[in-house]
Amino acid sequence: MNLHGWLVVWKQPGIVCTRIDRRVKRWLGCSVKVGHAGTLDPFAEGILPIAFGWGTRMIPFLLDFPKMYQFTCVWGRATDTQDLTGTIIRESSVRPSYEAVAQVLPKFLGVSFQKPCMYSAVKINGKPAYTWARKGKILDLPPRPIVIHTARLITEASAYDGHSIEIEILCSSGTYVRAFAGDLAEALGTLAYVSKLTRVSVGPFSSTEAVNVDTVTELCPQDAQQWMYPMDYGLKFPEIDLTQEQTVRLWNGLPLYLDLPFFSEFWVCKYQKKMICLAKGEAYGLVPYRCFVDSRVKKQT
């Protein structure tokens, strides 16, 4: 069985992502490497792409894709974690009108700089920021560039109670929804924290592909193929079919001198319909970048 690819599970609230990784690893076998693309906060829910085998080498590319979140802002209070799990540190009597929120939200579209919350996974001196925060060391995190592609109100005007509002955003990797809610509240002259957070898509994967981890792990891996995706799934790179000789050349770290039809930074190289290498495009051809060596093919040469 070819244990290289992706499994998209639905993370439930209250569960830590690494716990799901360990469970999938035990299910596939201890020798299979497992990792997830994009950590979700413990209180959050939503899709969690799990890479296994050689698929773990594709995680950085999936992280480059936009992600879609749906979340609920509760007005008038700020917590130290910027979500419902934290301690209230400030309060405000201001409750923005529906029209005010609708007018301010589009101003966040495009590129901007966001200051992450101290209770985040941003690394400081090799440790996540939340590790320092829990020790009482509050550090000043530098702003980071983010992109908000789309933003819309899910709550209808007729259903808005002035207490909370539900929003959906499509954003770049590295965007912190809790920090976004705080910035939005500041622009409206009030405070806010996130009471509910759901990730509904990560690049090519959406909630329609997600499956409960209990459902999958009750089966043997051979019977769960319908929920597994190849490691090149969703990559927006052109594909090229290679001969056996060309395949082994890339596996040996040697370039291929090819007349490519157009330039692309990366190419998905396949042999007999299987991805065998992710190569970088150069003026003279292809250079191996990530190789996935099948010893059975290599021995035939």
CA distances from 277 to 3, 197, 242, 251, 274 (A): 16, 36, 10, 8, 9
What is the Cα–Cα distance from 265 to 282, expressed in whole angstroms?
A: 8
| Pairing assessment for the beta strands 239-241 and 266-271 based on DSSP bridges | parallel
Q: How many CB atoms lie within 10 A of CB 120?
A: 20
Catalytic residues: 41
The three-state secondary structure class of 263 is coil
Task: Name the residue among 71, 37, 40 with its Cα closest to residue 56.
Answer: 37
Q: How far apart are CA 185 and CA 10, in angstroms?
A: 29
